[in-house]
Amino acid sequence: MIGLPLVYLLAGLMFGAFAVFSALDRENRKRFGNAAFWGLFALSFLFGDYFGDLGNGVLALALALIAGTGQLGVGAPRTTSPAERETLAETYGARLFIPALVIPVLVLVGTLVFKRLTVQGAPLVDPKQATLVSLALAALVAAVLAQVMFRQPAAAPLQEGRRLMDLVGWAALLPQMLAALGAVFALAGVGKTIGELAVMITPVDSRFAAVAAYCLGMAVFTVMMGNAFAAFPVMTGGIALPLVIGRFGGDPAVVCAIGMLSGFCGTLLTPLAANFNLVPAALLQLKDRYAVIRAQAPTAVLMLVVNVVLMNALAFHK
Amino acid sequence: MLTLLGVAVIVLGFALRFNPLMVVVVAALTSGLAAGLAPLEVLAAFGKAFNTNRYVTVAWLVLPAIGLLERAGLQEKARATIRSIRAASAGRILLVYLILRQLSAALGLVSIAGQAQTVRPLLAPMAEAASEPLSDDRREKVKAMSAATDNVGLFFGEDIFLAIGSILLIVGFLDQSGITVEPLHLSMWAIPTAIAAFFIHGARLLLFDRALSKARSGPEAEQ
């Protein structure tokens, strides 16, 4: 069965290649820092399951130290110049879009088809990982297709991948580190404590106040934890179930659906949701790390108000 | 109560712009120690979760394909295509993308687009090309708005899909509390918010266009 292990093997090999190419890159003054950073990524993907919990903790700590002490540079693999790219764009024309479109099409087909494919009764692809396997496959096919169609040098896919990876730098690891932080917070009972605080200050007498407190609580808690999924059980158990639903008779489906979406407003506002908010800023080489959050803040705040109004208007139809 | 110090570390660390990876490690140690765990216990718990969450980082597998296409001129081609469409503007392009992203996410197709595979190679260059000439500041704003539009479309579309993680989480949580809800009802009640998000962010995009064209014709215009 094709599942996470094969995808991790592929990722491990890619990061391993990034490490080797980084070490050989004399243009980058910090080349060994980059090589160590991507090399540890590779080790984690290839052998993470054999390191044990403490070993993985040390590995994560080492990655944080490399990035935190400024050992990461930006590599300079040989690539095409802007002028060359203009010419190439004219030569290849609309064909350039084909591999770019292959990615979404294959993800779509894979997500729909992989779940049904079986070999001698056993699923060919782990149904739980169908999307991730599709994405890996699509990325691989698109790279091979682009290499053949546009006659690129053999090392180009990995060198170009490294070029982009170095631009993203430490931000590439932040989502995974934050997920690990979430686990430690859960272990330490951080969420429970915040939930108890929120319940303590929630007004219990007015329906509108309870609705507003729940929506606002979902958003604020999500900002602090970086994830609406962490906020949902705490806030819903603390405010929505006893008050909005229990005391004022709100429809659970409406309350929970809109409550979750209030959490998403918080996701748009927090640097802790790194893969949505900080990684794009790195990918687009924005000067302000928080530029994407600034761009979406007005939408997020207005949507939070809308959610309060909608919940108040739609949840109490009986 | 002391465990909340970890949250304080996060807030302060991010506000003062220390390296976020270090901030995360320090925050984990702070909360863990405050909860009475030994330092090595915290490190092990962190490492365990770090290892099980590797799938988050797998998305970077798409970079070689994207980099290769950039090398062959994809961004330039995307820009040229937009320049040939006279009615194109940054706001309108992003508005069309917002609709497509919300609709496809509502069908559960959240991974067919994204920041690395769509926004960097295609959407941001197109939005830039449609609003040139741009000052550096405004170019930055156009790029940031492209990334923001991808997020807004995704977040306020995906909850309409029955089998998305958040819907399953709600169903499971309510079930434990003795309340049965149909996933269909939950996804139905995500629709009003989705429509509101489309109008609110859409209106912002059109206003964004207006601000950009004012900047081009106004006294601050460069070039």
* Whether residue B16 has pLDDT greater than 50: yes
Compute the radius of gyration of chain B from its Cα atoms: 22
Query: A199-225, pLDDT tens digit by residue?
Result: 888 888 899 999 999 999 999 999 988
**Co-location of A181 and A55 in the same domain:** no
* Mean pLDDT to the nearest integer, A80-90: 93
**Co-location of A165 and A179 in the same domain:** no
Query: What is residue A269's predicted lDDT score, i.e. its pLDDT?
Result: 97
- Distances in Å between the Cα of A147 and the Cα atoms of A83, A300, B216 are 20, 41, 40
Q: Which domain holds residue A152?
A: 1-169
Q: How far apart are the CA of B67 and the nearest CA of chain A, in angstroms? A: 5
* A60 within 8 A of B42, measured Cβ to Cβ: no
Considering only residues B94 and B161, tell me which one the structure prediction assigns the higher pLDDT. Answer: B94
Residue of A nearest to B169 (CA): A229
Query: What is residue B166's predicted lDDT score, i.e. its pLDDT?
Result: 85
DSSP state for residue A119 in the 8-state scheme: E
Q: Is B73 exposed, middle or buried (0-12, 13-18, 19+ CB in 10 A)?
A: buried
Q: What SS3 string covers A193-257?
A: HHHHHHHHHCCCCCHHHHHHHHHHHHHHHHHHHCCHHHHHHHHHHHHHHHHHHHHCCCCHHHHHH
Q: Which of A154, A169, A184 lies at the terminal end of a domain, its last residue?
A: A169
- SS3 call for B178: coil
Query: What is residue A224's predicted lDDT score, i.e. its pLDDT?
Result: 87
| Tokens, residue B88 | 């194109």
Which of B166, B118, B208, B50 has the alpha carbon at shortest distance from A41?
A: B50
Q: Chain A to chain B, count of Cβ pairs less than 8 Å apart?
A: 425
- Give the other-Cβ count within 10 Å of A82's Cβ: 9
* Whether residue A34 has pLDDT greater than 90: yes
**Co-location of A91 and A186 in the same domain:** no
Integer Cα distance of B211 and B216 in angstroms: 9
| Tokens, residue A29 | 């003054």
- Distances in Å between the Cα of A284 and the Cα atoms of A14, B11, B32, B97 are 22, 24, 35, 18
3-state class percentages of chain A: helix first, strand second, coil last, to nearest 5:
75, 0, 20
Integer Cα distance of B116 and A170 in angstroms: 15
DSSP state for residue B123 in the 8-state scheme: I
Query: What is residue B219's predicted lDDT score, i.e. its pLDDT?
Result: 55
**Co-location of A158 and A181 in the same domain:** no
Integer Cα distance of A170 and A174 in angstroms: 7
**Co-location of A98 and A188 in the same domain:** no
The share of chain A scoring above pLDDT 90, in percent, equals 70
**Co-location of A157 and A256 in the same domain:** no
**Co-location of A164 and A186 in the same domain:** no
Query: B135-169, pLDDT tens digit by residue?
Result: 999 999 999 999 999 999 999 999 888 777 888 88
A156 to chain B, any CB pair closer than 8 A? The answer is yes
Query: What is residue B108's predicted lDDT score, i.e. its pLDDT?
Result: 84
Residue A246 neighbours by CB under 8 Å, 6+ apart: none
* Whether residue B13 has pLDDT greater than 70: yes
Residue of A nearest to B208 (CA): A295
Query: What is residue B103's predicted lDDT score, i.e. its pLDDT?
Result: 95
* Whether residue B222 has pLDDT greater than 50: no
Q: How far apart are the CA of A166 and the nearest CA of chain B, in angstroms? A: 11
The share of chain A scoring above pLDDT 70, in percent, equals 100
Q: Which of A142, A169, A196 lies at the terminal end of a domain, its last residue?
A: A169
Q: How far apart are the CA of B69 and the nearest CA of chain A, in angstroms? A: 7
**Co-location of A127 and A216 in the same domain:** no
A74 to chain B, any CB pair closer than 8 A? The answer is no
Could you tell me which residues are beta bridge partners of residue A2?
A125
Residue of B nearest to A61 (CA): B25
Q: Which residues of A touch B112 (CB under 8 A)?
A: 103-104, 107-108
Q: Which of A169, A187, A221 lies at the terminal end of a domain, its last residue?
A: A169
Which of A178, A229, A252 has the alpha carbon at shortest distance from B25?
A: A178
Helical H segments across A48-155, by residue range: 52-68, 82-92, 97-113, 130-149
* Mean pLDDT to the nearest integer, A288-292: 95
Give me the phi and psi of A118, to 5 degrees please: -130, 150
Q: Which residues of B touch A178 (CB under 8 A)?
A: 24
3-state class percentages of chain B: helix first, strand second, coil last, to nearest 5:
80, 0, 20
Cβ of B146 within 8 Å of Cβ of A236? The answer is no
Name the amino acid, one letter, at B13.
G
Query: What is residue A199's predicted lDDT score, i.e. its pLDDT?
Result: 83
Identity of the residue in B18, B37, B73 whose CB atom sits nearest the CB atom of A92:
B73
Name the amino acid, one letter, at B11.
V
Q: How far is CA A267 from the centre of its chain?
A: 12
Query: What is residue A113's predicted lDDT score, i.e. its pLDDT?
Result: 87
Cβ of A256 within 8 Å of Cβ of B49? The answer is no
Query: A145-201, pLDDT tens digit by residue?
Result: 999 999 999 999 999 999 999 999 999 999 899 889 988 988 898 888 888 888 888
**Co-location of A141 and A181 in the same domain:** no
**Co-location of A158 and A257 in the same domain:** no
Query: What is residue B106's predicted lDDT score, i.e. its pLDDT?
Result: 92
* Whether residue A316 has pLDDT greater than 60: yes
DSSP string, B29-63: HHHHHHTT--HHHHHHHHHHHHHHTGGGGGGGGGH
Identity of the residue in B24, B47, B190 whose CB atom sits nearest the CB atom of A261:
B190
The share of chain B scoring above pLDDT 70, in percent, equals 97
**Co-location of A200 and A124 in the same domain:** no
**Co-location of A6 and A124 in the same domain:** yes
Query: What is residue A318's predicted lDDT score, i.e. its pLDDT?
Result: 61
Considering only residues B52 and A112, tell me which one the structure prediction assigns the higher pLDDT. Answer: B52
Q: How confident is the model at residue A40 (pLDDT cuts 50, 70, 90)?
A: very high
Integer Cα distance of B51 and A187 in angstroms: 16
Output the CA angle A164-A170-A172, nearest 5 degrees.
60
Q: How confident is the model at residue A311 (pLDDT cuts 50, 70, 90)?
A: very high
Count of all residues that appear for chain B in the document: 223
Across all residues in chain A, what is the average pLDDT?
92
pTM of the entire predicted model: 0.90
- Give the other-Cβ count within 10 Å of B9's Cβ: 20
Query: What is residue B221's predicted lDDT score, i.e. its pLDDT?
Result: 46
* Whether residue B81 has pLDDT greater than 90: yes
| Tokens, residue B3 | 């465990």
Count of all residues that appear for chain A in the document: 318
ipTM of the shown complex:
0.90
Query: What is residue B223's predicted lDDT score, i.e. its pLDDT?
Result: 43
Across all residues in chain B, what is the average pLDDT?
91
* Mean pLDDT to the nearest integer, A279-291: 94
Integer Cα distance of A198 and A220 in angstroms: 10
Cβ of A146 within 8 Å of Cβ of B72? The answer is yes
Query: A119-145, pLDDT tens digit by residue?
Result: 888 888 888 888 889 999 999 999 999
* Whether residue B220 has pLDDT greater than 60: no
Matching residue, tokens 């156009």: B142
- Give the other-Cβ count within 10 Å of A49's Cβ: 13
Query: What is residue A148's predicted lDDT score, i.e. its pLDDT?
Result: 94
Domain count, chain A: 2
Integer Cα distance of A272 and B9 in angstroms: 12
